[in-house]
Chain A
Amino acid sequence: MSLLIKNGMVVCGDETVDADVYAEGSKIVKIGANLDCAADNVIDASGKIVMPGFVDMHCHLREPGQEYKEDIASGSAAALRGGFTSVACMPNTVPPIDNAALVKYVLTRAAEVDRAKVYPIGCITKHQQGKEIAEMGFMKENGAVAFSDDGRPVENANIMRLALEYASGLKTLIISHSEDKQLAADGVVNEGLNSTVSGLKGITRAAEECMVSRDVILAETLGARIHIAHVSTRGSVEIIRQAKARGVAVTCETCPHYFSATDDEILNYNTNSKINPPLRLQSDVEAIIEGLRDGTIDAIATDHAPHHADEKNLEFNLAPFGTSGFETAFSLAYTNLVETDIIDIAALSKLMSANPAKILGIGSGEIKEGERADIVVIDPEKSYTVDSSKFVSKGKNSLFNGWKLKGAVEYVIVDGMQKEIKNYDR
């Protein structure tokens, strides 16, 4: 099989070039102007942007155990629809992915359904209990790319210290869900004026920042790597900025909702705005954007958290945390970061592809000769209104339903093969 993408604006590293991209089998073979190659499949990308396929280092596919919310088939198809050619799924399934057999199961299912590539993340501790470290070695050997108890913090600092130490010996990555549960105290929204106005219980920003501080200090003391998940506050960005300046091996991600929305969204008790960590203030949004601009924040991840409508159609306190994320992530980033001239498309590409690929050590994430042909073609001019009822994901719980966004995914190529994606307009 060969593929030729003609006349696009191609994102190559820090630059964009007007070029054709030619792939043979699963690899990119040639990039250049007016390539004269015959191909089995030719895509005309005139007026379009050709980017490396997006890499989501934080999502929830819910399989095994909660297939009513999402499964590997629907989740990896929704990922493709959002332009993600690779996704790393969190292990807080039922049961949690805390052993090699379950890691293998996820990989087997993903291969069977053959949509976006799926990279399992294993648990740090057995059953996510925070008590004994899980068999990270066996899980890594069988394909786990990182370890996290996401959804729950590792509350015991000594267990976190031991996990970081053990993981560094295995040359693998610990991803911290940074939340002090005592401080969060069963809150459901950001603590501040809006928690008072709505009467909903607040979560102090200190719940996130204390844990980010603890884990950064642990990593620094041990000389270990750490990745901080879903950074949402100005304080967390500053703690990480300072740590990076000291040379700590810390990386971090944020999510589209933390630079696109504030806690004003909770005022009408819309349960799709119930997210953990919670939506914050405009000043936090600005700090997150600055962190994305100056490189403090390494990656944009979705924290795609699909839920069933029955679970979200409840009292705010009873609804689960999370928004569906795959199918709006790129447009939100493009609309709020690129269209606003905060960063250029090449910088966005790094945040959504090269950086997360590098942090996870899964390769690809760039368009260059010899690299895997994981590619998305974007229509930068297309404006549309989000209709979550049309999502490929089973999770229709989108905070962004009804939002007008710009920039749409047109074609998705995985390992040189064009994948069929749903046309929302039909």
Chain B
Amino acid sequence: MLKRKDLLGLKDITAEEMEEILSTAVQMRKILDQNVKKTPHLQGKSVTTLFYENSTRTRTSFETAAKIMGANTTSISAQTSSVTKGETLIDTGKNLDALLTDVIIMRHSMSGAPHLLAKNVKASVINAGDGMNEHPTQALLDIYTMKEKFGDIKGLKVVIAGDVKHSRVARSNIWGLRKLGAEVTVCAPKTLLPAGIEETDVSVSTDLDDCIAGANVVMGLRLQLERQQAGLFPSAAEYNAYYGLNAARLDKADGDAILMHPGPVNRGLEIGSDIADCEQSYILRQVTNGVAVRMAVLFLLTRAKQQ
């Protein structure tokens, strides 16, 4: 049974803990499908989103999850908080503790920031994305979506294509999917692959047409156009030609394959509009499932603390 205070990443949780979150999420998903979307799981709890980076999807998803479960929610953005006055992360966290916050959901541009916060506060900390490190609830909702479609993760062929080097979504998926027995391939130009990735137990490819063959899940990643100025790829056109997901490429995957993307999507760069909205695209389903997964995480962490 999940007994931890914080959810910081999938790197350091067990397959059993992941399974518990996923099976709880199945129950939560049922609540979302009801006519009246309300449950008292988090009544009397205070949940704060503390975002040092912009986000629409993740923040709204967490807030929706918390509100459906009856929590009091507060949201803090770095731009409008005392952070701009020079307050340290630890001081901000201790103040949230003093405000009797039960859960802090944090996004931060620096890897390890949630770990620093978690060590210094009594509240549960949920990592909603830290630098290039992890985005555990995104990977959990991705895995939930795969499970929903295929039943079992074990043996599933998952291709993650795009800017793996800078992607916390890719990392969390790699750690989570490998623990559950999926076969993971990452695909990108060498300049967008992280150092030492070949030393992990994922397959590494620079040829999308080759590695996409027979895949069950094709996951695209967002590519920031600033990476071009930094010299990591020559042009949007060349990137799209070699690494863009399109109908022709998706055809090479397994006939029953699904297309996923954590959003926000760059249409015409990493993913073509011809497939972004096709039947195989699970991109919006991921978003709905995200609410259920976050409800499960919020519930399990607050329950763990009560005991």
Contacts and interface: CB of A to CB of B under 8 A. Distances in A.
Given A193-B200, A315-B89, A202 B111 contact: no
Contact of A198 (B108, B112, B113, B199): B112
Interface string B93-122: 000000000000000101111011000000
Nearest to A268: B115
B204 to A, nearest CB: 12
A195 B196 contact: yes
Nearest to B196: A193
Given A314-B89, A315-B89, A199 B112 contact: yes
B87 to A, nearest CB: 12
B134 interface: yes
B133 interface: yes
Contacts of B241: none
B212 to A, nearest CB: 23
Interface string B193-225: 011110110000000000000000000000000
B89 A193 contact: no
Contacts of B199: 193
A152 to B, nearest CB: 22
A269 interface: yes
B123 interface: no
Contact of A315 (B108, B168, B195): B108
Interface residues of B, number: 24
Nearest to B175: A197
B287 to A, nearest CB: 24
Contacts of A268: 115
Interface string A313-335: 11111100000000000000000
B131 interface: yes
Nearest to B134: A199
A199 B195 contact: no
Given A196-B197, A199-B168, A269-B115, A313 B90 contact: yes
A82 B194 CA distance: 40
Nearest to B171: A199
A200 interface: yes
What interface size band does chain A fall in?
20 to 34
A191 interface: yes
B132 interface: yes
Nearest to B108: A315
A310 B89 CA distance: 11
A315 B200 contact: no
A316 B89 CA distance: 12
B112 A315 contact: yes
Contacts of A192: 195-196
Given A313-B90, A315-B116, A200 B197 contact: no
A199 to B, nearest CB: 3
Contacts of B115: 268-269
A269 B11 contact: no
A314 B92 CA distance: 12
28 contacts: A192-B196, A193-B195, A195-B195, A195-B196, A196-B171, A196-B194, A196-B197, A198-B112, A198-B133, A199-B130, A199-B133, A200-B133, A202-B195, A204-B195, A268-B115, A269-B112, A269-B115, A269-B116, A310-B88, A313-B90, A314-B88, A314-B116, A315-B89, A315-B110, A315-B112, A316-B110, A316-B116, A318-B110
Interface of A: 191-202, 204, 268-269, 310, 313-318
Interface of B: 11, 88-90, 108, 110-113, 115-116, 130-134, 168, 171, 194-197, 199-200
Given A194-B196, A198-B133, A316-B111, 15 more contacts: A192-B195, A193-B195, A193-B197, A193-B199, A196-B195, A196-B200, A199-B111, A199-B131, A199-B132, A199-B133, A200-B112, A200-B132, A269-B116, A315-B116, A317-B131
